[in-house]
Amino acid sequence: MLFMWAQEERVHLMRRLSLVGKMKGPQRIAALLLDLYERVLIGGTETGRSFNIPLTQPELADGTGMTTVHANRSLKDLRDSGILTVRGGRVTIQDIDKLRAIANAAPRLRRHTNWL
């Protein structure tokens, strides 16, 4: 079972890596935030559409392969369009469907890990 999860994770990461070079700034930020959000849901540490993001803006830029300025502008575009809000290191997704559309991503499967 764990091997299957590891393989699914590998496929997911390879897909993300191949898309990063093809995505525009807001798409990259949307994909990263969506991925973090779905991982938080799988882990069961948060519910709803809000989650803590312990990343600085330079780290967010590094994680998406952009400069800090470009990442900040892209994040601002997502905030200005009403898709998400960021306050005090906490992201709230206002429109999950629009975020998925921008990131060109399908929902990930939710795993139940309470048996671990």
Residue 84: which H helix or E strand, with range?
A: strand 84-87
pLDDT in tens, 85-108: 999 889 999 999 999 999 887 655
Condensed to tens digits (0 to 9), the pLDDT of residues 17-72 reads 666 677 899 999 999 899 888 888 877 766 688 999 888 989 999 988 899 999 99
CB atoms within 10 A of CB 114: 6
Q: 32 by DSSP, 3-state: which?
A: helix
On whether residue 110 sits in a domain, the answer given is no
CB 80 within 8 A of CB 90: no
Total of domains in the chain: 1
Domain containing 26: what range? 2-103
Residue 109 domain-assigned?
no
Listing from the earlier edge strand, what are the strands of the sheet with 90-93?
50-52, 90-93, 84-87
